A = this chain, B = another copy of it.
């Protein structure tokens, strides 16, 4: 098969999905609103929706250690889209979903991708969801990403979300909502860096509805320049369950960071904990690296890199 990707698209795919060629297995690559390549397998079916933009991704019960890539690239200024992807993960299946979005905006109009993802995890299924967001482009047009993730988890299912937004996204408003039945586990790891006048808001709502349901929401972020970040998380313990939420932020320059982690125990056997800390890089950490020969800027960059790793 020919590689239908140009250099900019390859670079973006490398950044968000770790691929520069068409991937093996099930995939769909969406560029500027169109699929430029798609493939299903016996275990993972990709079916395009006919009533709106997006796909149904159906993973067969019992599928073992498989993966599906569905990266999105925007390379035209002025392109705005809302896409609906629904994932049906069969009983006992185990799958990794790689679903990033990269925007290369060359012009003065804004480019926006809103991805609405809904996951239905059947009993004892497992999903690892990796989502990288990245922006670039010499144009003055804004690069906007508003992901919505809805997760419905049946008994004993497990989901891990790794989301990363390190660079180049001017505005993001991220909403993640999940409902967990008996013994279901949701782990969320978010990494975020903003600079310039960027704005990022993250909102989590996790309903622990089943006995033994548990969640761990961990957010690490760095705010530079005049950027603004808002972190909201709501964990509701409605059954004998466990929830933990943690938000650590490094603040630099004239940035501002707001953390609002809400925990509600509606059941005496719900155990909920949250922690949050906002502060600058400790002076002694910088000094230590400077004695090893780094400049102050290099030391800061090193610490930020380590913090977001």
Contacts and interface: CB of A to CB of B under 8 A. Distances in A.
A164 interface: no
A182 to B, nearest CB: 19
Interface in A250-289: 251-266, 268-280
B272 A275 contact: no
Q: How large is the interface on A (under 10, 10 to 19, 20 to 34, 35 or more residues)?
A: 20 to 34
B276 A280 contact: no
Contact of A271 (B261, B264, B275, B278): B278
B260 A265 contact: no
Interface string A226-260: 00000000000100000000000101111111111
Contacts of A254: 268
Contact of A259 (B257, B259, B262): B262
Interface of A: 237, 249, 251-266, 268-280
22 contacts: A251-B265, A251-B268, A252-B268, A256-B265, A258-B263, A258-B264, A259-B262, A259-B264, A259-B274, A261-B274, A263-B278, A265-B278, A270-B278, A271-B278, A271-B280, A272-B276, A272-B277, A272-B278, A272-B279, A273-B275, A273-B279, A274-B275
